[in-house]
Amino acid sequence: MNTLTDRTDDRWDDGLIARSRPVREAAEDDGGDGDDALMRALSGAGSDGGRTPAPPVSPEARALRSRLEALGRLVALSRTRLDGKTLAEAGRVLDEAAARRGLSAQHTVVAIAGATGSGKSTLFNALAGVQISETGLRRPTTAAPIACSWSDGAAGLLDRLEIPGRLRRRPRETTEAGALRGLVLVDLPDLDSAVGAHREHVDRVLALVDAVVWVVDPEKYADAVLHERYLRPLAGHAEVTFVVLNQVDRLPGEAADLVLDDLRRLLDEDGIALGEHEEPGATVLGLSALTGEGVGELRELLGQFAQEHDAATRRIAADVDRAADRMRPLYVADGHPGPEIGEEARAEFEDRLAEAVGAHAAGLAAERAWRRNAGRACGTPWLRLWRWYESRRAPRTLAGLAAGTIGGRGSGFGAGPAEEEVTARQRVEQAVRAVADASVAGLPDPWAQAVRETAVRGGEQLPRLLDEVAVTLGAAAAVPGAKPPRPAWWPAAVLAQAAMTLLQIYGGLWLVGQIAGVLEPDLLPPVLLMAAGIVGGPLVEWACSIAARGPARRYGQDAERRLRQAAAGCGRARVLEPVAAELLRYREVREQYATVAKLSTTRR
């Protein structure tokens, strides 16, 4: 074993390998951090200490930066609403994009993957122009990823792939090798290897490289493991995918073209767009790594691909597309959610709360109390005396009846029986469920559940608050002892009633004096006075009752409105505002998801 290899895995270790710089130096040479570093990394800025001027940032890199920023905000806003496993892939995409941005953007990492016996190691050696990867009949031949770089500065990328220094190679300098400058080629173990560690190497490296060359042979090009486990899940990565039919020298005549056509058919069924007719997509070609047929064409395509310096951008964009597709059910539903809680749902919710606290019954009780006080103020003295006697006679009975009015006909909170309290609580719970159901129309299931949980949490304390409202406002308006404000005409009515009473007293005394012989007998005047007082008193009371209807009704309506407003205020503070905040959060994440998934404004 080479002594240098024993000391460290961070250096090139044979005569064909150029010395690499430590990872930290390479990262420092990339320069800067944050958005500027990301833009340089995604647009192909150099990592050679500034010797190569950074090219202008491409529109694709700018769009990708916006999508990554939106994805970061999306994960941050969703973390408390969705479980960690759901956001794991999005977090992995962000982590890998951040890791890739600090490494060389002048290099393009391409993995060569294939099944057992497909000839990928032979193709790897043919592209390198030197025997690097071991080939032979023994299976599996490649046990660990082997890397070959055509230029310096790729150490950080290979460290990220966990490829040790003893498995890093550098081809000889040739004219053909110059065309591949910036390319880092990685030969992977067999994807269908019987050794589990080999398959783990393949899966780990494929998740980190910028592009993949899939090598198939005429016998295994339709292998289910290749298509179902790898090609189909990576269908969105078509622009960074090469599919090579190797060993075409074994196919006679037009058989190679027929197999290539069938391979394209299978790729189309996998959902992989093919880059034909100058359209973006996967590149499909046939070659023979053993005879060299078609190898030059693939080398030219890889060299051009590496010189474009946008493979990392394409790969990360494809990863973002894949993550967005998988997260779509979390942020997009078939319906179209409204921007906020609908006015109809709000009105229905407030009506249900008003019914729960008995706002209408409290208003009627307040109206009756106003009219009762008006009757006391404007009634005849004899009637008021009788009412006073009745109130002194059974005060507890009247208090019980008043309490029954509040509890039985009203909300059921506070003074009502236990059964009626349960009924009122059920009404509140039904109101909360109804407004939650109306608010989640068109929302994806996770966010609909979050809105419902928010409404339920807010509604837990709502019955207690409504109880306090009912006791404070409803009972105060309905208790018989309450004194509503008096209108300006009440003193005149009281004076008129007093005058009628005085007429009765004066006429009665006059009549008594005549009977006793103290006054001259003349029955008509005292009788008329007494009749006027007796008839006038009820007439004044009746007129006052008619005049009191309007003010009493307005007073009851005011009491009902105050109770409704108080109940609605409790409902807004505990339920509607938290639900509206949750809907606002969903709209925010929906906007971020639209940016991540590149949805048009009309589709949002």
Residues 83 and 198 both lie in one domain: no
The number of distinct structural domains making up the chain is 3
Reduce the DSSP state of residue 30 to 3 states and report it. Answer: helix
How does pLDDT run across 519-562, given as a tens digit for each residue?
A: 777 778 878 877 877 777 777 777 777 777 777 788 888 888 88
d(CA 123, CA 111): 12
Strand partners, 274: 282
Whether 244 and 138 map to the same domain: the answer is yes
What are φ and ψ of residue 165, in 5° steps?
A: -60, -30
Q: Could you tell me the two tokens for 209?
A: 């490289």
Using pLDDT thresholds of 50, 70 and 90, give the confidence band for residue 211: very high
Q: Which helix (H) or strand (E) holds 381?
A: helix 381-393
Where residue 145 sits, what CATH number does that domain have?
Answer: 3.40.50.300
Q: Are residue 449 and residue 356 in the same domain, yes or no?
A: yes
Rounded to whole angstroms, how far apart are CA atoms 323 and 590? 15
Radius of gyration of the chain (CA): 45
Residue burial 336-353, b: 16+ Cβ < 10 Å; e: rest? ebeeebeeebbeebbebb
Confidence band for 513, pLDDT divided at 50, 70 and 90: confident
Q: Measuring CA to CA, which residue among 82, 586, 602, 101 is closest to residue 326?
A: 82
Alpha carbon distance, N-terminus to C-terminus of the chain:
61
Give the burial string for 241-267 (b: 16+ CB within 10 Å, else e). Answer: bbbbbbbbbebeeeebeebbeebbebb
Q: Do residues 276 and 388 share a domain?
A: no
Query: Which has the closest alpha carbon to 577: 413, 458, 421?
Result: 458
pTM exceeding the 0.75 threshold for the entire prediction: no
Task: Give the model's pLDDT for residue 336.
Answer: 64
Band (3; pLDDT cuts 50, 70, 90): very low
pLDDT of amino acid 14: 34
pLDDT at 467: 82
Which helix (H) or strand (E) segment is 95 a member of?
Answer: helix 88-101
In a domain, 70, yes or no: yes
d(CA 597, CA 590): 10
Using omega within 30 degrees of 0 as the cis cutoff, is the peptide bond preceding 140 cis?
A: yes
Residue 521 lies in a domain: yes
pLDDT at 51: 43
Determine phi and psi for 6, rounding to 5 degrees.
-70, -30
- Is residue 362 within 8 Å of 410, Cβ to Cβ? yes
5 found inside a domain: no
DSSP letter for each residue of 542-559: HHHHHHHHHHHHHHHHHH
The verdict on 440 and 468 lying in the same domain is yes
For residue 20, is it within any domain?
A: no
Tens digits of residue pLDDT in 236-273: 999 999 999 999 999 998 999 999 999 999 999 999 99
- Do residues 466 and 451 share a domain? yes
For residue 585, give its domain range.
343-603
Per-residue pLDDT reduced to its tens digit, 409-442: 344 454 444 445 556 788 888 889 999 988 888 8
- C-alpha span between 79 and 85 (Å, rounded): 10
531's enclosing H/E stretch is helix 524-571
Please tell me the distance from the alpha carbon of residue 243 to that of residue 266, in angstroms, as a whole number.
12
How far, in Å, CA of 245 to CA of 248, rounded?
A: 7
Which residue, 296, 331, 366, sits at the end of a domain?
A: 331
pLDDT of residue 534: 76
Question: Helix axis angle, 524-571 relative to 343-357, nearest 10°?
Answer: 130
**Residues 197 and 52 both lie in one domain:** no
- Say if residue 377's pLDDT is above 60: yes
Q: How much of the chain, in percent, has pLDDT values that exceed 90? A: 30
Do 265 and 185 fall within a single domain? yes
Do 392 and 469 fall within a single domain? yes
pLDDT value for 401: 41
What does the pLDDT look like over 52-92, one tens digit per residue? 445 566 788 889 999 999 999 999 988 888 877 778 889 99
Q: Is the dihedral of CA 379, 384, 385, 387 positive or negative?
A: positive
pLDDT value, residue 13 = 35
Same domain, 454 and 585: yes
Q: Is 358 helix (H, G, I), strand (E, B) or coil?
A: coil
Chain-centroid distance of CA 231 in Å reads: 31
Task: Report if residue 10 sits inside a domain.
Answer: no
What is d(CA 493, CA 454) in angstroms, rounded to the nearest whole number? 56
Of 185, 172, 313, 164, which is closest to residue 237 (Cα–Cα)?
313
Are 529 and 558 within one domain? yes
Q: Is the pLDDT of residue 224 over 70?
A: yes
One domain, residues 433 and 557: yes
Separation in Å, CA 549 to CA 117, 369, 371, 574: 100, 12, 7, 37
Residue 25 is assigned to a structural domain of this protein: no
pLDDT of residue 421: 54
> Which residue, 277, 296, 331, sits at the end of a domain?
331
**Number of other CB atoms surrounding residue 402 within 10 Å:** 19
Answer yes or no: is 166 within a domain.
yes
d(CA 570, CA 54): 60
Spatial CB neighbours of 276, under 8 Å, sequence gap ≥ 6 = none
In a domain, 296, yes or no: yes
